[in-house]
Chains A and B, each alone.
Chain A
Amino acid sequence: MEPLAKEPVVRIEHLSKHFGEGSAQVDALRDIDLTVYPGQVVGLMGPSGSGKTTLLNCIACIVEPSGGRITLDGDVVYDEAWLTSDLRRLRLDKIGFIFQYPNLLPFLDGTDNVAIVLNLAGYGGSAARERAADLLEYLDVAHRKHAMPGQLSGGEAQRVAIARALANRPRIILADEPTAPLDSERARIVMDLLRRIAQEQDAAVIVVTHDEMILDRFDHIFRLRDGRLELEEDRTRPRRPGTEP
């Protein structure tokens, strides 16, 4: 198997997370083990409340786990405690996040919503805008690059948001139900896009979804129930030529 030859980008070991104390304690994640390789697109599924968002947030370094270990792109970032003090920098450098809703900054146009990430990473104004424009082109929304988020359709806004997630060439792309607000046609387009990005940028893509219609777009599916990893499906198969750019 070709991907296994590479180092994993995301490695989760014995990860647990509980909210609250004593009798009110909720075990959102229990002893999760999960590995994602570069170029892979994996799905995270499970009933509501099973811990999908919590797991994604732990990987995104937004939520502090209760125990276990997280290795991102070769660096151990969590081992019973955060090992880095600047989690924002870590997110900026390694992680691209696609929200369920585009969450674009309403006061910036399409290009600047992407360029802001590059600015934060230290790129100057015109270089950042150029790369942002390229990304919008790549995602087929170049014609809307001067539009404000309020003027974009749901699909256009989501593509701008994806461009933003890609701006810093992250090794890890996390998406929490990115296709929920889209129709099935658009959902497929977004998933194909994520596949293409995973391969072209050698990134690991983890997508939380409820949508059974897009299952065929995943290399691997992890199913959660009550905070436990219940089932792991390897759907790896020869790449379909249609998804290549």
Chain B
Amino acid sequence: MNLAYRDIRHNLLRFVLTNLGLSLLLGIVIMITGVYGGLVNDAVRQARAAHADLWVVQAGTNGPFAQGSRIPGDTRDLVARVYGVAKAGAVTYQSVQTELNGKPLRFFLVGFEPGRPGSPTSLIAGRDILRDHYEMIVDRSSGLKLGQVIPLGTHAHEFKIVGLTEGQVTSSGDAVAYVTLRDAHALQFELAPPAERREVARGGGSGSSDQINAVIAKVSPHVRIDEVAAALSRWKHLTTLTEAQQETLLSKFVIQKARSQQLMIMVLLVIVSAVIIALIIYTLTMDKVRSIATLKFIGAPDRTIVGLVVQQALSMGIFGYFTGLVLVLVFKPYFPRRLVLDPQTVGIVFAITVVVCLAASTLGIRLALKVDPAEALAGTG
């Protein structure tokens, strides 16, 4: 018969109540891994949404997401002519902020060439961009609806939402929006009217505006991607990254800081959980001193006593872990960020919980082993 289980069942309500706090803590730990997973996932998805085989960016940079990258606007023609490249498209990236009904609205704006790589795919509603100007496709997470009109840029051009995507956000949670490359250029380089007049007076034009951030290339299915990459590397002002390299960059470098912050919070939470588990186990054992003395008196070996304490510690951890997990799963949709719980990380948190429980039960074990069987004889029962 399992004494640990019997004792828990006998005091079930107390067990559940004392462990609710632990559940919340472990739930937060799981949630943080989910936030981190979401971060990685969003970043990688953002790159994946481009369906690129190769990314051509400014030489020596980890562009265009991990680092800024500027290349001449004609790079796309250059890339398209390389043997093996089936299609190429120029893209620009910029963060824009505007106001809608008095509320700030942030986007990560992608400028693309319609019909070429880099165009938005898998729309969940609406249609592709058909006109050269002032149409926009945006991620559903922005809260915008089809047909809605939003002002962008210093001249507050009105962009109409014609299509919606799903699940396309940056690692900082901003919705991704698509406009034509021309619109994007205009938004990027347009100046406020006074600055524009000054620029014209100096004799400058919109000369610098023919710059893009990257070229996305699709490789013909009959040619090996690395061969094409090698061919592209002959231009010294460009760097070529494969899709896999791009994803690695995104998941490693872009969110490194976020990762170390979260790691620190997790370590602190795990320490707090350990202290809480240790205290609960200690008090649970204290409450059972007489039972433990009786068990020893009637001949129970130490292994039975240690088993009782350790199994209760483990039950606590497992109960807390799964309650926490359920809480996270239940409240996930209401969380302001997307949580991605990948099974491996969730498994690691479980393993950590088990280890922490074992470590935290040592205090209780020491107490239990020190109990003198003669205490079973003491005074009242």
Contact = CB atoms under 8 A, between A and B. Distances in A.
17 contacts: A60-B297, A62-B373, A88-B296, A91-B297, A92-B299, A97-B298, A102-B381, A103-B376, A103-B381, A107-B7, A107-B9, A108-B3, A112-B1, A116-B1, A116-B3, A117-B298, A125-B1
B23 to A, nearest CB: 23
A185 B137 CA distance: 92
Contacts of B234: none
A119 interface: yes
A101 B6 CA distance: 22
Contacts of A91: 297-299
Interface residues of A, number: 32
B377 A120 contact: no
A209 B381 CA distance: 18
A119 B1 contact: yes
A117 B299 contact: yes
Contacts of B299: 88-89, 91-93, 117, 120-121
Contacts of A63: 374
Given A62-B374, A100-B377, A103-B381, A108 B6 contact: yes
Contacts of B1: 108, 112, 115-116, 119, 125
Interface in A60-102: 60, 62-63, 88-89, 91-93, 97, 99-102
Interface residues of B, number: 24
B291 interface: yes
B7 A92 contact: no
A148 B299 CA distance: 22
B300 interface: yes
Interface string B1-12: 101001101110
A92 B295 CA distance: 10
Main SS of the interface on chain B? Answer: helix
B11 to A, nearest CB: 7
Nearest to A168: B299
A156 interface: no
Contacts, number: 74
B363 to A, nearest CB: 21
B6 A176 contact: no
A117 to B, nearest CB: 6
B296 to A, nearest CB: 7
Given A62-B297, A107-B10, A117-B299, A99 B377 contact: yes
Given A63-B374, A99-B377, A115-B1, A107 B300 contact: no
Nearest to A94: B299
A105 interface: yes
B298 A120 contact: yes
Contact of A103 (B3, B294, B301): B294
Contacts of A105: 3, 291, 294-295
B338 interface: no
Contact of B10 (A62, A106, A115, A121): A106
B10 A148 contact: yes
B290 interface: yes
Nearest to A102: B381
Interface string B124-137: 00000000000000
A17 interface: no
Nearest to A176: B377
Contacts of A176: 377
Interface string B120-152: 000000000000000000000000000000000
B299 to A, nearest CB: 3
A164 interface: yes
A153 B3 CA distance: 23
B6 A112 contact: yes
A148 B381 CA distance: 15
Contacts of A99: 294, 376-377, 381
A107 B11 CA distance: 8
Residue of B10, B297, B299, B374 contacting most chain A CB atoms (<10 Å): B299
Contact of B381 (A88, A93, A101, A164): A101
